[in-house]
Amino acid sequence: MRCAPTAGAALVLCAATAGLLSAQGRPEPAEKPRFASWDEVNVLAHGLLQLGNGLREHVERTRGQLGELERRLGSCGAACKDPEGSAAPPFAPENLILTRVLYSPQTQLKAQNSRIQQLFQKVAQQQRHLEKQHLRIQNLQSQMGHLVPMHLGHGVAKRARRKRLPKMAQLAGPAQNISRLHNGGWTVIQRRQDGSVDFNQPWDAYKDGFGDPQGEFWLGLEKVHRIMGERGSRLAVQLQDWEGNAESLQFPVHLGGEDTAYSLQLTAPVASKLGATAFSPRGLSLPFSTWDQDHDLRGDKNCAKSLSGGWWFGTCGHSNLNGQYFHSIPRQRQQLKKGIFWKTWRGRYYPLQATAMLIQPTAAEAAS
């Protein structure tokens, strides 16, 4: 059987991927573009498409061969019976010959079934890779629309605001029990403080929300998207370590809808080592990922499954405020990486004691 289309597509894919990875892995001169060229992105997407089509054609050819084997097996089975429908004597010489004839197609049939299952798994795996590459292409396309106005309108990068926010209070009423702040219309969308709620939840739970608004909770991606609207918002992050130190940061952000996997993107440069790369490494728009829906930018692993909790993962190592809660710092590095962390503040392997996330729509900022 022919595998040339698949091999050719794989070579194109490997060449394009190696080019992109090598380009991202080494420091770039200031005068060169910050992102992969459109030609490289198109080559990568074309190679992935060819690989998927080649696998699909191979599965279809295998199905045809399987059908032919089943037809031959049926013919041989019919030949084993006499005209009156009774089976031939089991030890007749002609019956032994037919048994050998039947055994070969049966063996081939089992082998083909096993091969088809393997091909289906490969097709499913390639489909997941294609979906990830599609998200990367969407990120690059969205960046093209934001980079020029962002750099022209902000000649000097803004510093992330680092100030204490007003104390939180509970909003009375049935409005999804949303926690609000008295000043400025801030809405609390996440709180971690004691490990009373399991944050290693599937996609639907992160979409709809879970937990107790008076304790640990996640408001829900769909609610957050509706509150932020299309004009963007300010996102505040509050962090606390086990020594009593605290940090507060604010970012201008935009959150896409479910069709973009609730992608989060900075809408202006942030000249802060604590915040610039924690959410959006290299300025990309980051889709939200959970253990059952993998949208991160890593092609070789599912960050949410490898770590813990749902988050806007880039390459798994920048931040995760929805990770596993530890009441004391574990000794094993494998456990440490699953915790709540903000790499640019306390490091990649320091699990934080408490966090909170708050948003304020741009309209609320203008009205205040």
pLDDT digits (tens, 9 = 90+) for 159-193: 444 434 444 333 333 333 334 444 468 999 999 99
pLDDT digits (tens, 9 = 90+) for 14-35: 555 555 445 455 555 555 555 5
Q: What integer is the mean pLDDT of 228-245? A: 90
pLDDT digits (tens, 9 = 90+) for 253-309: 999 999 999 999 888 766 666 665 566 555 568 899 999 999 988 888 899 999 999
The pLDDT of residue 170 is: 36
The CATH code that applies to domain 168-367 is 3.90.215.10
The pLDDT of residue 193 is: 96
Query: What global pTM score does this model have?
Result: 0.57
Q: Which of 315, 232, 247, 245 is nearest to 280 (CA)?
A: 315
Q: Where are the domains of the chain?
A: 4-153, 168-367
